[in-house]
Amino acid sequence: MTGRGDAAAAVAVRMLTAITQQDGAGACAALAPDTAAELEQSADKPCVEAILDENLPAPGPVSASHVYGQWAQVRLSGDTVFLAVFPGGWRVVAAGCTARGDRPYDCLLQGG
């Protein structure tokens, strides 16, 4: 993994770890703005509460991370997370994602 890939993987693991620790604020801090807004709108709750209801898996070992331009994909055992670059660094755009062949990943948590 590259330096940028490591940084993206660290943010993905930090968010999933925060959820397992019931730290909604910590998890939401790692989300992209549109993803947090979409979550609040669909759950009709503040992000810090809604994200704990999303049934995202606990972070497994990181098996790979791919970085291209402004985007990254981090693969963990049992989860795939997509991130993009924001002023504060990498932020999670989609998580809890499952591959669907040639179609886009199906994600439990996803920006609009």
Partner 1 sequence: MKKFLRENSLGLAFGLLFLVVLIGEAVAGHADFNQRQLSEGLQPISFDRYVTSASFAVDVTENWQSEYLQFFLYIYLTVWLLQKGSPESKELHKPGRESDENQMVGAYATDTSPAWAGASGLRHALFSHSLGLVMGAIFLLSWLAQSITGVAAYNEQQLGKLEDPVSWGQYLLEPDFWNRTLQNWQSELLAVTSMVVLSIYLRQRGSSQSKPVGAAHAATGVEG
Q: Considering only 13-21, 23-31, 53-61, 100-108, which stretch makes contact with partner 1 by CB under 8 A?
A: 100-108
Residue closer to partner 1, measured from CB, 50 or 97: 97
Q: Does 1 bind partner 1 (CB under 8 A)?
A: no
Residue closer to partner 1, measured from CB, 20 or 86: 86
The correct pick among 7, 29, 54, 71 for binding partner 1 (CB under 8 A) is 71
| Phi-psi map region of 78: left, alpha, beta (phi>0 left; psi -120 to 50 alpha) | left
The correct pick among 26, 29, 105, 108 for binding partner 1 (CB under 8 A) is 105
- What does the alpha-carbon distance between residue 5 and residue 90 come to, in Å, rounded to a whole number? 10
- What does the alpha-carbon distance between residue 91 and residue 41 come to, in Å, rounded to a whole number? 19
Residues 6+ apart with CB under 8 A from 57: 16, 78, 79, 96
To partner 1, the closest distance from the beta carbon of 64 in angstroms equals: 10
The correct pick among 28, 33, 53, 63 for binding partner 1 (CB under 8 A) is 33
Residues found near partner 1 in the complex (CB under 8 A): 32-34, 66, 68-73, 82, 84-87, 94, 97, 99, 102-105, 107, 110-112
